[in-house]
């Protein structure tokens, strides 16, 4: 089985984080990665896939969930851009705080889970 271009060697529940799985790959040059269990079935494929596939499998359901949250709060259409600006500022602020605490991976590989772990450890 593959996740993206990489063949899976081992998959295990992430003990410190409920709802996440740690995946190791046959290519030992690739660091193990943590994925949300809710998307693992969509990410696992029998053939290698490109990075766009992974992005779509993670971001499409996330966008659907975000839409449900906005519906729950009855966000006005006119306030959508403002809300996205607040979210972006929050992510940037938390990323900067995580950088100040510790960091060891490329900024482009950083996920919200990485930031959360850095801020809560």
Read off the pLDDT of residues 37-91 as tens digits, 9 standing for 90 and up.
999 999 999 999 999 999 999 999 999 999 999 999 999 999 999 999 999 999 8
Read off the pLDDT of residues 86-113 as tens digits, 9 standing for 90 and up. 999 998 888 877 776 766 655 666 788 8
Note the pLDDT of residue 39.
Answer: 92
pLDDT of residue 119: 80
Q: Does the pLDDT at position 12 exceed 80? A: yes
Among positive and negative, which fits the CA dihedral 1, 8, 14, 42? negative
Bridge partners, 34 (sequence order) = 22
Give the C-alpha separation, 66 to 119, whole Å: 23
pLDDT at residue 103, rounded to an integer:
62
Assign residue 93 a region (left: φ > 0; alpha: ψ between -120 and 50; beta: otherwise): alpha
Average pLDDT, the chain: 89
Residue (of 82, 58, 88) closest to 70 by Cα position: 82
With beta carbons less than 8 A apart as the criterion, state whether 98 and 115 touch. Answer: yes
Q: Edge-to-edge strand order for the sheet containing 6-13?
A: 33-36, 20-25, 6-13, 2-3, 44-45
């Amino acid at each position: 089985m593959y996740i993206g271009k990489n063949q899976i060697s081992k998959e295990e529940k992430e003990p410190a984080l409920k709802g996440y799985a740690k995946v190791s790959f046959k290519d030992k040059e690739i660091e193990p990665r943590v994925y949300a269990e809710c998307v693992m079935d969509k990410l696992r494929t029998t053939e290698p896939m490109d990075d766009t596939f992974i992005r779509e499998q993670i971001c499409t359901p996330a966008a659907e969930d975000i839409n449900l949250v906005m519906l729950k709060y009855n966000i006005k259409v006119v306030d959508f851009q403002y809300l996205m600006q607040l979210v972006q500022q929050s992510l940037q602020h938390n990323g900067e705080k995580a950088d100040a605490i510790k960091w060891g991976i490329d900024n482009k590989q950083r996920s919200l889970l990485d930031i959360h772990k850095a801020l809560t450890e």
